[in-house]
């Protein structure tokens, strides 16, 4: 059990670094590895930038609950496995509908 928590901790640190970078600089993170395709800097829509920020923030908040729900036998945390994807779907619908 302790080994699982330690491994999870070392996996989450780089993942949170990537999510923070995506939240604070969504354009650069969306173009990472694809910049060679464009001669000029492409313009991304406001919806995709807002959705990227929303997805990274939701992942930063929800990821610990999902991982704890997988590791521990607490009923409320098991419910987050259903709630987490639902939040993404509803958030995407609201962002792209506006």
Please list, in sequence order, all residues whose beta carbon lies within 8 angstroms of the beta carbon of residue 58, skipping any fewer than 6 positions away. 84, 87, 88, 91
**Residue 22: pLDDT band by 50, 70, 90 thresholds?**
very high
pLDDT score for 19: 93
Return d(Cα 41, Cα 5) in angstroms, integer: 42
Backbone angles phi, psi at 43, to 5 degrees: -95, 125
- Read off the pTM: 0.76
Domain assignments of the chain as residue spans, ordered by start: 2-35+44-97
Contact 20, 57 (CB under 8 A): no
pLDDT score for 21: 94
The per-residue pLDDT for range 59-95, each reduced to its tens digit, is 888 888 878 777 777 777 778 778 888 888 888 888 7
Please list, in sequence order, all residues whose beta carbon lies within 8 angstroms of the beta carbon of residue 64, skipping any fewer than 6 positions away. 12
């Amino acid at each position: 059990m302790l080994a699982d928590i330690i491994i999870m901790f070392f996996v989450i640190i780089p993942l949170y670094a990537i999510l923070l970078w995506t939240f604070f600089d969504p354009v650069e993170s969306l173009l990472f590895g694809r910049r060679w395709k464009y001669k000029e800097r492409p313009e991304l829509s406001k919806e995709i930038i807002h959705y990227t920020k929303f997805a990274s923030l939701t992942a930063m908040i929800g990821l610990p609950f999902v991982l704890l729900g997988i590791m521990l036998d607490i009923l409320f945390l098991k419910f987050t496995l259903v709630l987490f994807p639902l939040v993404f779907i509803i958030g995407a619908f609201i962002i792209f509908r506006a």
